[in-house]
Chain A
Amino acid sequence: MIDVADLVRRRGGRAVVDGVSFTVAAGEIVGLIGLNGAGKTSLIDCIAGLARPDAGLVIVAGHAPGSVAARRETGVLLQQPGLPARLTVAETLALFAGLHGVAVDERLAAALGLDALAGCRVDRLSGGQEQRLALALALQSGAPALVLDEPATALDPLMRRDLVVLLGERRAGGAAVLLATHDLAEASSLCDRVVLLHQGRLVAQGRPADLISATAATLADVVLTISGEPGR
């Protein structure tokens, strides 16, 4: 569903993504893991069509990223999602549903606790509430490919638990989910596979259990070891 082959993205002459290749199949959740500056967000920008790769190839649901067809087939949560500050939660949900050509997913909104915030203006929401709204916007399109950049950021434990349930449902429904996260416990429990990035390069990928058993006791140890900072 999401195919990345030899992707290179340069910024200021430096390769922030350097020859990365991996795939996310339908019905699979793949974790994208790495320290700050590893290249996760640049990679997601390329997959979402917001940035043009300098080399390599990205295919999303059979389409080039950024094309209308690809955008229709992809739900994206950005790390800093810009939201229409002066609209209410309900108006924002309706607007983005309209832009995707779907109806507002009331069940999803309720699952994310947005039904109680329907009349609240976006610029008066807390950080966690904004994150829930942005997550709803990414998920409500019903797109078969989901690209989520740190979806659990600012969410409270209850909402994180609900998020895991929601993503599990999407996986069961056949969606391909690429999940960039710093929450390694979450990645261990939720992801079918993880892709480890370090300084723009893919340094390891596989099932969390396989990586842990091969190199370390936890996924965090794996990341620190691979990034060259085992004692940190």
Chain B
Amino acid sequence: MMGRLLRANLLATARNPMALIYGWLFPLIFLAGFWALYGDDPLPLALHAGQFFTITILGSAAFGLPTQMVAEREAGLWRHYALTPAPRWRFVLAMVLARAVLLAGALILQHLAARALGMPALPHPVSTLLALIVASLCFLCIGALIGSLVGNVPAVQALGQCIFLPMLILGGVAVPLASLPDWALPLSNLLPGRHAVVAIQTAVTGTGTQAARFELAMLAGHGALALVAAVLLFRWEPGARVQIGRRGWWLVLAAAMWLALAGLAHSRARPVPAPPDRAAAGVVADYVRGVGAPAVPRKKLPVAQNHPQPLPSDQVRDGLQAGRGAVVPVPQPVPELPQELPAPDLDAIAFERLPPDAGLVAPIAAEPADAALANALARIERQLAQWPPARERDAVQQVRNLLLIAAVPDLLQMDPLERHLPLLVEAQLQARFAAPALQRLLLAIALHPDAGSVAARADLPALGLPAHAGPEPALRGRVMLYAFKLLGRVSGRRVGDPSPPDDKQEPDPDPAQGE
């Protein structure tokens, strides 16, 4: 029975030219708008995939599905269905699933168009698919609830807008939560839009499903409640009033659970920082006392010594045991260590001016990685053993390549991965170089961010990370920051934030270093 209903709905939808035009063309128009705004990003469109995919889903759910439901009810089709022994929930579910198939076509089309416009391949396709499915079903159930509530097609537009616009503006879909006033943040918890954006974005530029399991669970909860309410309020007859009757208590219970979900989301929400200028890395002079930086030869220098492979330092090992990532030292080709690297004058480095580790620019995690994140880090670490840029014989270049592993995810806002990868890089560096040599190498990179190559950024997909395709200066700025920060950590001059995190301490944006 369900199969026939689903097939009938799919056929009816496929033969409705307007549904196809609105369902498939509008997402491309949304995408063009995002492309116009964010086409020049380091990773075109990828950082906003959560937003434009969610808008596509939301549009189909808030307008497409309820319009079809109400139009069929007005035409008397639902009245005819009411004469059959099939229960009402099957009709609602079949319509939701059929619309989900139409929506899947729209999302595939939108993704292909985004790829054509430069968006990189999805690093976690299965996680992305899961996030899109859960978000789609959640919003389509809300669409079914709209269809159950309203009595005619014009009313769909009215109520649909009442859901669509607040979700865009207050729900974190089109306007970032960080841009909202304080009073609006609790309201955003009532709406599942923010969870959809986070779940999808985490899959596209983050670590995948496990890191977004809270958001996925919230979406599932919102969807289930909406579906229950849609079935309870469902009407066969055109023009009939919503009959609540004995179902009232169930609706009250559903509403209470909805508020509980909002409360749970509110309690779990992290503080929303002020919108950062993520391009702001500053310049070398920001972090060096006095005038000018010591000169470092840029040419490849002859081999000074072959350094044995040390085990991770006690500090890093302790950090790993605390759950910051499972790093196992992997034998690497012995890199060439330039002989003429300067002896580090650490007193000349203004470590206190570096962006805070808890901030948004060049963050470093202070808390242990959870199990999901630890798995992701372990996977990256395993792949790193085979990563050619990590086997570069030029030691300076090898360190720079490794720093890219921290710098690129930071630029791409791959939270929470971006905060934990620097620890992995630090452990790798300490496994490869003795502390004095490592300090010299990091200082050389920090003081000369424009030297060497960052071509290895294109090889990051081999580690399961997205490639970086944007302007080099922003990336080199991040490499510089992490070189300074890791220098502070390995030398013991700066481990963690010296004071409570304050984003205002971050350096002013420098147009020359902009993304």
> B75 and A86: CB pair below 8 A?
no
Tell me whether A68 and B87 are in contact in the complex, defined as CB-CB below 8 angstroms, given that A50-B82, A87-B8, A99-B1 are known contacts.
Answer: yes
A99 and B81 in contact (CB under 8 A), knowing A84-B8, A86-B11, A87-B8? yes
B237 touches which one: A50, A81, A85, A94 (CB < 8 A)? Answer: A50
A101 at the interface (CB under 8 A from B): yes
Contact B1 A101 (CB under 8 A): yes
Q: Does B86 contact A (CB under 8 A)?
A: yes
Which of A19-27, A72-80, A186-194, A222-230 contacts the other chain?
A72-80
In the complex, the number of residue pairs spanning A and B with C-beta atoms less than 8 Å apart equals: 72
Range class of the B interface residue count: 20 to 34
Q: Are B85 and A101 in contact (CB under 8 A)?
A: yes
Interface mask (A79-118 → B, CB under 8 Å = 1, otherwise 0): 0111111110001001110111100000000000000000
- Cα separation A94 to B12 with both chains bound (whole Å): 14
Contact A82 B80 (CB under 8 A): yes
CA distance A59 to B4 in the complex (A): 30
Q: Which of A71, A87, A100 contacts B12 (CB 8 A)?
A: A87
Asked if B79 lies at the interface with its beta carbon under 8 angstroms from chain A, I say yes
Contacts of B75 in A (CB 8 A): 82, 85
Determine whether the beta carbon of A86 is less than 8 Å from that of B84. no
B84 touches A71 (CB 8 A): yes
A48 at the binding interface (Cβ < 8 Å): yes
Tell me the complex Cα distance, A69–B85, Å: 7
Question: Is A49 an interface residue when CB atoms closer than 8 A count as contact?
Answer: yes
State A86–B17 Cα separation when bound (angstroms). Answer: 11
Q: Which residues of the other chain, A, contact B11 by a CB distance below 8 angstroms?
A: 86-87, 91
Closest-by-CB residue of A relative to B1 is A98
Task: Give the distance to chain A from B34, nearest Cβ to Cβ, in Å.
Answer: 33
Alpha-carbon separation in the docked complex, A63 to B230 (Å): 27
Q: Could you tell me the distance in whole angstroms from the C-beta of A120 to the nearest C-beta in chain B?
A: 13
Cβ contact within 8 Å between A82 and B76: yes
Query: Which of B8, B81, B83, B236 meets A91, CB within 8 Å?
Result: B8
Q: Closest CB-CB distance, B16 to chain A, in whole Å?
A: 6
Which residues in window 1-31 of B have CB below 8 A to A?
1, 3-5, 7-8, 11-12, 15-16
**Of residues 204 to 247 in B, which have CB atoms within 8 Å of A's CB atoms?**
236-237
Return chain B residues, CB-CB under 8 Å to A81.
Answer: 76, 80
Contacts of B16 in A (CB 8 A): 86
Q: Is B77 an interface residue (CB 8 A)?
A: yes
- B78 located at the interface, meaning its Cβ lies under 8 Å from any Cβ of chain A in the complex: yes
CA–CA, A49 and B81, complex, Å: 12
Given A98-B4, A99-B5: A76 touches B12 (CB 8 Å cut-off):
no
Q: How far in angstroms is the closest Cβ of chain A from B483?
A: 63
How distant is B349 from chain A, measured CB to nearest CB, in Å? Answer: 71
Min CB–CB distance A131 → chain B (angstroms): 13
- Evaluate contact between A100 and B84: CB separation under 8 angstroms: yes
Whole-angstrom distance between the Cβ of A36 and the nearest chain B Cβ: 19
Contact B78 A68 (CB under 8 A): no
- A99 near B84 with CB under 8 A, answer yes
| Shortest distance from the beta carbon of A17 to any chain B beta carbon, whole Å | 17
Q: Quick one: CB contact mask for A147-179 with B, threshold 8 Å, 1 for yes?
A: 000000000000000000000000000000000
A84 touches B12 (CB 8 A): yes
Contact (Cβ within 8 A) A50 B236: yes
Q: How far is the CB of B217 from chain A (nearest CB, A)?
A: 34
A93 to B82, CA, bound (A): 16
Contact: A72 with B85, CB < 8 Å?
yes
Decide if B12 touches A74 in the complex (CB within 8 Å).
Answer: no
Complex formed: what's the CA distance from A76 to B77 in Å?
A: 14
**Partner among B4, B12, B79, B87 whose Cβ is within 8 Å of the Cβ of A78:** B79
Q: B68 to chain A: closest CB distance in Å?
A: 11
Closest beta carbon of chain B to A79's beta carbon, Å: 10
A50, A72, A74, A100: the one contacting B79 at CB < 8 Å is A50
Structural contact, B79 and A99, CB atoms closer than 8 A = no
Distance A78 CA – B84 CA, assembled complex (angstroms): 13
Is the Cβ of B83 less than 8 Å from the Cβ of A76? yes
How would residues 13 to 56 of chain A score, 1 for a CB under 8 Å from any chain B CB and 0 otherwise? 00000000000000000000000000000000000111000000
Are A49 and B82 also in contact (CB < 8 A) when A83-B77, A84-B77, A95-B4 are? yes
Residue on B nearest A68 in the bound complex, by CB: B85
A71-B77 in contact given A95-B4, A98-B4, A99-B1 (Cβ < 8 Å): no
How distant is B87 from chain A, measured CB to nearest CB, in Å?
Answer: 7
State whether B77 touches A82 (Cβ < 8 A).
yes
Compute how far the CA of A190 lies from the CA of B237 in the bound complex, rounded to whole angstroms. 32
What distance in Å separates the Cβ of A62 from its nearest Cβ neighbour in chain B? Answer: 15
Residues of A within 8 Å of B237, CB to CB, are 50
Measured between alpha carbons, how far is A84 from B1 in the docked complex, in Å?
A: 16
A49 to B7, CA, bound (A): 27
Q: Whole-angstrom distance from the CB of B74 to the nearest CB of chain A?
A: 9
Known contacts A85-B75, A86-B12, then 19 further A-B pairs from the complex at CB < 8 Å, ordered by chain A residue:
A50-B237, A78-B83, A80-B76, A81-B76, A81-B80, A82-B78, A82-B80, A83-B80, A84-B12, A86-B15, A87-B12, A91-B8, A98-B1, A98-B4, A99-B4, A100-B84, A101-B1, A121-B15, A137-B80
CB<8 Å pairs between A and B, sample of 23: A49-B83, A68-B85, A69-B85, A71-B83, A71-B84, A74-B83, A78-B79, A78-B83, A81-B76, A82-B72, A82-B75, A82-B80, A84-B8, A84-B12, A84-B77, A85-B77, A86-B16, A95-B5, A95-B7, A98-B3, A99-B84, A99-B85, A99-B86
Q: Which 8 A-B pairs have the closest CB atoms?
A: A82-B76, A98-B4, A99-B84, A82-B77, A86-B15, A72-B85, A86-B12, A71-B85
Which residues of chain A have a CB within 8 Å of any CB of chain B? 48-50, 68-69, 71-72, 74, 76, 78, 80-87, 91, 94-96, 98-101, 121, 137
- B residues near A (Cβ < 8 Å) are 1, 3-5, 7-8, 11-12, 15-16, 72, 75-87, 236-237
